[in-house]
Amino acid sequence: MTILSIDGLSKTFDMHVLGDTQVVGLDDVSFDVQTGEFLAIVGESGSGKSSLLKCLYRTYEPNSGRVVYHGPTRDVDLASCPARTVIGLRRDVIGYTSQFLDEIPRVPAVDVVARPLVEQGHSRDDARETARDLLTALSVPRELWEAYPATFSGGERQRVNLAQAIAPRPAVLLLDEPTSALDPETRRAAIDLLSTYLDGETTVIGVFHDTNVVEAVADRVVVLDDGRLDRVVPVDEYDGEVVVE
């Protein structure tokens, strides 16, 4: 079953502060995403990987094209639906995480991870318990759970970030280089957690630089080149090319 249909998606930035320069982020990108699949987006720096994720999440407003989410009851075009529809879908259906944790300072790590669960209506105690389980699975040291992520190392912060993103088990999860700051062992733990905790129920679209990660987790690979779709291939036909960094 198709969960997302991306059709002719384009994004151009009008940089008024740079003398109205136009910067092309994405140019006429189309592909479908199947329910429960793990899609890796690869490409050189500046090829539009993050722009694509942000257009799917509507942090960037596409100039043209459609991103149709085929929900249980109706289809919604994420590229053009009202802001409030997007807010509702973000709470219940679509998760997003970037490389950088974006949280109020001075909130303990366990509460940062628990927050989306509380917002979905889970009790604070249940949410914190799930949060502790996820932090354990990602080997975040116990003594950090009640500490503030602002004081953490890059890798620790990234694990808190990832735990927060997967905690609510969204139907669609958008990950922007979620493992870039992790050492190989922790990275493996993170990848394992994505498959065990999400249990194939979640459709994941992720940007990854590491070919090993792509080969370990992805079902299919979307290759972007200079804002355009180069190809979409099953992972066993993916030769690792383009991932140059």
Partner 1 sequence: MSLLSADGVTRIYGSGCEACRDRTGDAAGTNQCPACGSVVACADVDLDLQPREVLGIVGESGSGKSSLAELLALEPNQDGHVHGSVEYANHPGNLLDVDYETRHALRNGHISLVHQHIRDGLDLDFSGGGNVAEKLLASGWRNYEDVRERVASLFEETEIPVERMDDPTHTYSGGMQRRVQIARALAINPEIVVLDEPTTGLDVSVQARVLDMFRRIQREEDVAAIVVSHDLGVVRLLADRTLVMRHGRVIESGLTDRVLEDPHHEYTQTLINSAI
Residue with smaller CB distance to partner 1, 120 or 139:
120
The residue within the footprint of partner 1, chosen from 2, 8, 15, 151 (CB under 8 A), is 15
195-209: burial string, b at 16+ Cβ within 10 Å, e else? eebbeeebbbbbbbb
84 touching partner 1, by CB under 8 A: yes
The residue within the footprint of partner 1, chosen from 40, 48, 56, 58 (CB under 8 A), is 58
The residue within the footprint of partner 1, chosen from 3, 49, 54, 128 (CB under 8 A), is 54
CA angle 63, 67, 72 (to 5 degrees): 150
180 touching partner 1, by CB under 8 A: no
In whole angstroms, what is the distance from residue 205 CA to residue 218 CA? 9
Tokens of 196: 């065990």
- The residues pairing with 34 across neighbouring beta strands, listed in sequence order, are 2
In whole angstroms, what is the distance from residue 185 CA to residue 191 CA? 10
23 touching partner 1, by CB under 8 A: no
Residue 181 Cβ vs partner 1, minimum distance, rounded to whole Å: 21
CA 29 from chain centre, in angstroms, equals 18
The residue within the footprint of partner 1, chosen from 1, 45, 72, 102 (CB under 8 A), is 102
24 touching partner 1, by CB under 8 A: no
61 touching partner 1, by CB under 8 A: yes
In whole angstroms, what is the distance from residue 4 CA to residue 78 CA? 10
Which positions lie near partner 1, rule CB under 8 A? 13-17, 54, 58-61, 83-84, 86-87, 102, 104-107, 118-119
